[in-house]
With several copies, the nearest count.
Chain A
Amino acid sequence: MKFVLDAEQRMFGEALHKLLAEAGTPAVVRAWAAGSPAPGRALWRSLADAGVFALAVPESAGGVGPLPVELVTAFHEIGRHAAPGPIVETVAAATLLGRLGDEAPAATWLPGIAAGEAVVSLALPPAVPYALDADVADVVLAVDGEEVRGAAAGPVRASLDPARRLFPVVPGAVLAAGPAVRAAALEAYDMGVLVCAAQLVGVGRRLLEVTVEYAVTRRQFGRPIGEFQAVRHHLANVLVGLEYARPLVHGAALAAGSPEFARDVSAAKVAAGEAAYAAARVALQVHGAIGYTDEYDPSLWIRKARALYTAWGSPAEHRARVMAALARG
C-alpha cells in the first residue's frame, strides 16, 4: 500500500505545472472569455502533446487510458492554472465514446481527442444541461436517455465565469443508441465528476497560494495582514479543507471500475467543491476590494470556484448519491 503519487506521476504533474505556468494562462483565459479562442486552442494542443487527453482514450483507439490517477493529477494542475475550455467535457466524452460498444463514433472521434485535434463539448442532463464552449468545440454530443446525438449550439448563456460559455443544445443526428448508452453515460458522468473534483482542488490550492502571498506582502494598520489572527485562521481552515479533499479525489480515482466509483466520486466532489468555494470566499475577504475586481487575476479562480461548485452536480445532489449508495449498504 502506497497511497501517494509515485515518482512518475509526480513528475507528470510538475511538467504540466511548468507547461501551464509558461503558457501564461491568465491571458489565455481572458482571451478565451473575450471570444478569441486561438491561444486556448494552442494550449489545448500542448496539453494533448503532454499526453493529457490520451489518458482518457483507450489503447484500442490510440490512447493510453483510462488512467484515472494520472487524469486527476493533470486536472489538479489544470485547475491550479485555470486552463480554459471544455476539458472536463472532452474527457467525459472520451469515456462515453470508449464505452459505447458501438465502434463507429469511437473510431471517428477518439483518435482526434487523444491527439488534441478534437475539442468536444457534451450535454449530459440533468446535471449537465448545457454544453460548455460549444461554439469552439469541433463536435457537441448530447446524451438523451438511451441515445447519443450530435448537437448544434443554441444561443449562448453568460456564466458568472466569463471563461465558461454555456449553450443549450439542439439535438441532431443519432450517433449511437441502446441500453449500452445509458451505462456509458453513467460512466462518463462519474469520470466528469471525478476530474471536475480534481480541478476544484487545484483551483482551491491556487487561491490559497495567491492569498497567502498577498497576506505576507500587503500591510494594513502598520503590519502584514497575515499577522492578524482572523486572516491566519481563515487561511488555516482553507488548508485543512483542501488537505482532506485531495485524498478523497485520489481514493475515488483508484476506485474506478469498482462498484464504489459513483459513491466515491460524489464524496470527492462534495469535499472538493466545499473546500474550493471556501478558498474563494477567503481569498475574496482577505484581498478585499482588489479581489472583487475583474482585472486582478485572483478573480479568474474566484469565479471558477463558484461556477464549478454547482457544475457536474451540486453538492446536495452528490450527498444524495453518497447516502443512496450507503442505503444499498
Chain B
Amino acid sequence: MDLDLSPAEPFRAEVREWLRANVPAAPLPSLETEEGFAAHRAWERRLAEARLSVVSWPARYGGRDATPLEWLVFEEEYYAAGAPGRVSQNGVNLLAPTLFRHGTPEQLDRVLPRMASGEVIWAQAWSEPGAGSDLAALRATATRVDGGWLLNGQKTWSSRAAFADRGFGPFRSDLAAGRHRGLTYLMFPLDAEGVTRRPIGRIDGKPAFAELFFDDVFVPDRDVIGTPGEGWRVAMSTTGNERGLTLRSPGRFLAAADRLVALWHERADPADTALRDRVADAWIKARAYRLKGFETISRAEDVGAESSVNKVFWSELDLALHETALDLLGPEGELDGDWLEGYVFSLAGPIYAGTNEIQRNVIAERVLGLPRAAR
C-alpha cells in the first residue's frame, strides 16, 4: 500500500502553471445567467485549446488519455486555482460515459470533439413531474416514425437547459412494456422545432434549470444511444457516475475546506472552539473523501453501490461545510456572495441524483444485504 503521487506530479506542475497563467483574475458572471453561460463556454474553449477540458478522454476526442490519478490531480489543481465552474459538466460526466459504453463509433466521432471544445453544451433531461427519483415512472414518449422518433411530453429539473444546445435522456418508446422496460435513450436539439423551454428559478431565483415541453420533436435514428427499448439499462449504467467521484471530485471539497480554514483564520475568534471543531470536521471529511478517492481508483472493480456511499458523504459534507461558513460569517452570512452561492448549491446535494434517502436504501440492500423492503 502506498500514496505515491509522484507519477502525476509532472502533469500537476503543467496544469498548475497553465491555470496560474490563464484563470481569469475576476470571477466570471454566474453560470446561471445568459451572459455568464457564454463566458463559461468561452472558458471551455480555452481549456480545450490547452487539451485540458477532458483530460481523461482518449486523445482522438480531445483528451490526453490521463490516468485516473492524473484526473484526480487535475481536479485538485483546478479547484485550488479557483477556476470557473464547468458549464459542460453534464455532457462530460453523464453523456460521454454513456456514449463510451453504448455509443457507436460514428456517435463518438460526431459528439465528443464538439463537446470537448464547448461548441456544444449538453443538458440532462431525465426527471419529469411525478418522476423525480423514480425513473420507472417516466411518461414522456418517443414514437417510432420513418427514419427516427417523435418526442412528446415534458421533462423538468433539466440543469443548464435554459441556455444549453442539446439534451439527452430516456423516453418511453413502448407504452405496453413494464415500468423499467420500453424506454429509449435519445439525444435531441434544444432549439429544434417543437421544443419549448421554460427556465425555472432556483431557490435563490437564478434560472439554474428548466422545464422542457416536447411537441412532435423529430429525432433521427442516429441519435438513439444503445438499443431502442433498452434505455433503462443505458441510463442506469451511468447513474454511478452522477453519484460517484466524477461529478463531485475530491478537489472541489479540498479547495472549499481550505477556503473555510482560511476564512476561520481570517474572521473567527481563535478561542471559539465550537466553530473551530466544525471547521476541523469539514477539513477532516474533505481529506477523507480525497483518500477514499485514491482507494477507489486503486481498486480495479466497478464502484457499483459504493457510489451511493459516496453521494451521501459528499452531499452532507458539502452542506455542513457551507453551513459552518455562514454561521462563521454571522450577520453577513445571509448576504449574497461566494459562500452563500456555495450554500445554495449545496442545499441541492442531498436531493438530486437520487435523494439521500434512496441512496441509504441502496446501501442497506446492496452493501449491507438487508432484506428488500417496499418502503
Contacts and interface: CB of A to CB of B under 8 A. Distances in A.
A/B: CB atoms within 8 Å of each other = yes
A245 interface: yes
Contacts of A143: none
Given A229-B373, A271-B284, A220 B134 contact: yes
Interface stretch (B2-10, B50-58, B163-171, B235-243): B2-10
B357 A3 contact: no
B352 to A, nearest CB: 7
B202 interface: yes
A233 B364 contact: yes
Given A267-B287, A292-B203, A314-B330, A3 B298 contact: yes
A311 B334 contact: yes
Given A292-B348, A314-B330, 20 more contacts: A1-B2, A1-B8, A158-B335, A224-B371, A226-B370, A227-B370, A227-B373, A231-B357, A244-B313, A254-B1, A254-B3, A270-B281, A284-B351, A289-B156, A289-B348, A314-B331, A317-B330, A320-B276, A322-B280, A322-B284
Contacts of B289: 244
B204 A251 contact: no
Contacts, number: 238
Given A3-B291, A288-B132, A293-B202, A236 B368 contact: yes
B1 A247 contact: no
Interface string B255-285: 0000001001100000011111101110111
B4 A1 contact: yes
Nearest to A161: B334
A165 B3 CA distance: 38
Contact of A289 (B7, B330, B351): B351
A254 B2 contact: yes
B3 to A, nearest CB: 5
Contacts of A314: 327, 330-331
B284 to A, nearest CB: 5
Contact of B361 (A1, A229, A243): A229
A9 interface: yes
A135 B374 CA distance: 54
B265 A327 contact: yes
Nearest to A267: B284
Interface in B1-47: 1-5, 7-8
B60 interface: no
- What are the 5 tightest A-B residue pairs by CB atom distance, in nearest-first order? A294-B201, A247-B291, A232-B364, A227-B373, A236-B360
Contact of B369 (A129, A130, A216, A316): A216
B247 interface: no
B69 interface: yes
A160 B344 contact: yes
B81 to A, nearest CB: 18
A250 B293 CA distance: 13
Interface of A: 1-6, 9, 69, 126-130, 157-162, 164, 166, 208, 212, 215-216, 219-221, 223-224, 226-233, 235-237, 239-240, 243-245, 247-248, 250-251, 254, 267, 270-271, 284-285, 288-289, 291-295, 299, 302-303, 306-307, 310-311, 314-317, 319-320, 322-323, 326-327
B1 A237 contact: no
Nearest to B206: A294
Nearest to B136: A221
Contact of A216 (B272, B299, B371): B371
A160 B340 CA distance: 7
Given A212-B369, A295-B200, A162 B331 contact: no
B333 interface: yes
27 contacts: A1-B2, A3-B2, A5-B1, A127-B331, A160-B334, A212-B369, A216-B371, A227-B375, A228-B357, A232-B368, A236-B368, A239-B367, A240-B312, A240-B313, A244-B292, A247-B295, A250-B1, A270-B281, A285-B350, A288-B355, A289-B157, A292-B348, A293-B203, A294-B204, A302-B203, A316-B277, A322-B283
Given A158-B336, A311-B331, A316-B275, A236 B312 contact: yes
A68 to B, nearest CB: 10
Interface string B170-205: 000000000000000000000000000000111111
Nearest to B356: A285
Given A3-B294, A267-B287, A240 B335 contact: no
A294 B291 contact: no
A247 B203 contact: no
B352 A251 contact: no
Contact of B363 (A239, A248, A320): A239
Contacts of B335: 157-159, 166
A226 B265 CA distance: 44
Interface centre among B205, B264, B327 (most CB of A within 10 A): B205
A268 to B, nearest CB: 9
